[in-house]
Chain A
Amino acid sequence: MLMRFARYSLAMLLLALAPVAAGQMAPTEGSGTQQSNDDVFSDELIFEGDLFNDDLFGDAFDGTEDSKEASWLDGFTLRLSQQLFWQVNNHSVEPLPGLRIPKDADLENNRLGLNFKYQNAFAPGWLLQSTGQARWYWKDDYEYQANNDNIDSEYRINELYLQRSFGQQSIKFGRQTVVWGETVGNSVLDVINHTEFRDFTIIDIEDARLNQWMLVWDVFSNGSQWSSFINLYPEFNPTAVPGSPFYANTGYNVGDYKRGSETLFEAGTQWRKSFERSDISFMTAYLYENQLSYDYPIEGYGDAVAVINDFVLVGFSANRAIDKLLLNLDLALSLGVQPKESSFPGITVVGSGLDSQKDQLGASLGVEYAISSDQSISLGVQANKVLNQRKTLSSQQTNVNDRIFGSWLVRYRNARSNGNLVISSTLQGDLATDSLFVSLGLDYAITDHWAVAGQIISTTANQQTPMVLFDADVRVGATVTYSF
């Protein structure tokens, strides 16, 4: 294992160094001079004005007169990335007394990704936008192993919508996201999109959102916006892929919801108004819960029965800027939801579909603080409370969550060298202190095209929770990215 880790590390290092070398050898743009020697730097650099090359960045003005003819291909932005991720801690977990599951250090992700974005305002008031991704899973990736040790691939269109804006209105139709709420990372109102937390390389909801086929209608007026959507094909959080860290063999087949002849739809509307130092929103929606619940198979074996649950959301959000502080508040009253066993989306528990519908009040409070021009820290706390706990329960039954439950999130970001080097950290846990994620990340933009990133993620969980399967996991990853 160590040898394999070292081999992959060397490969990543070489990949990372290649663009560095390319960047170093490239001529300095605009200066027209040779590369400076590090010897010339000193802590007490003193120079006279005539040292300054009056036309150091003269190239910036070149070519502006002869703008090239626009092409529809100009709308493409592409990003290639190679990612490696290891679970590096040899240990075992004990989800049930006496049941100990070994977890060997192993490579989990070895994949190449291609992301594209296409944006074309092809006529006045019209826009076509699409984003998508392709993934190729190489040797030792868990998807490779799930594909009987063969290279696997996957393609997905994330966004694909057509937009028409006219007067004070805008209409967008196609695959898109709708994001509500002010609190970053764990808003109780950010529930419209379904999400896929396939593995621990994605722990931020911003990266996990999936798009849906929707019609969105916006009406703008002075300082306010009325936004409505209708979704005629609600989708649900996908189940974990066999072999992935989130996949747990429950003894039953846990699959997607099997659609019948019934018509499913979601709809909602939001009104947003900006004031000086503050924005507020009111919203309401008819939705389906994104995380499916499951009943036990009817015959006791085979396919677990996916259960969908519709509910009504009534919400309010606001922010307030106070000097270096930004306070965010989200409130959500959810009528007719099914309490979940885990606050972390993507965790599937068979049998949870047996719970009855409840009303739930949720609140997210966020604080963002600009420490300096380069550093910021944000804190978000989400708390939920089931309102009518005993409703429909017999005296022998108890609720999954009969206390205040939720999660907390702390993010820190430090940008160095004009933003070329970004150090970030995320801590995430639940209010019951049953689980804790700690992530340390480092992103370095070598050039305008090349970037490298490293990440360490540690997971800790109590034995009594579904998250125990990830207790004491330590993951280390690296990604090389080329954007153009």
Chain B
Amino acid sequence: MELSRDDIAKVALLSRLQLNDEELDAMQSDLQNMVNFVEQLGEVDTDGVEPMAHAVELHNIFREDKIAPSLPREEALANAPDEDGEFYRVPAVLGD
């Protein structure tokens, strides 16, 4: 399929990647090449084939509901770009 510049801009927004005009151009051509490349899968007859998401069959594993220590707050916040000692800080989400 042909990817328009709007398609690229939409995927960039979904990906939370800010791209300038030049980067959008480069991405449009790169992504188009990649999409063309993977489209050869369309040749394969997959009628009636079960999708395979994992190499081993996954099943639920239950453990005892026991209280165990978790990461102390200090350590959890230690890598944060911005925090106030109790919470992670981000720019205002709601308008003022």
A binds B: no
Residue numbers of A with Cβ under 8 A of B are: none
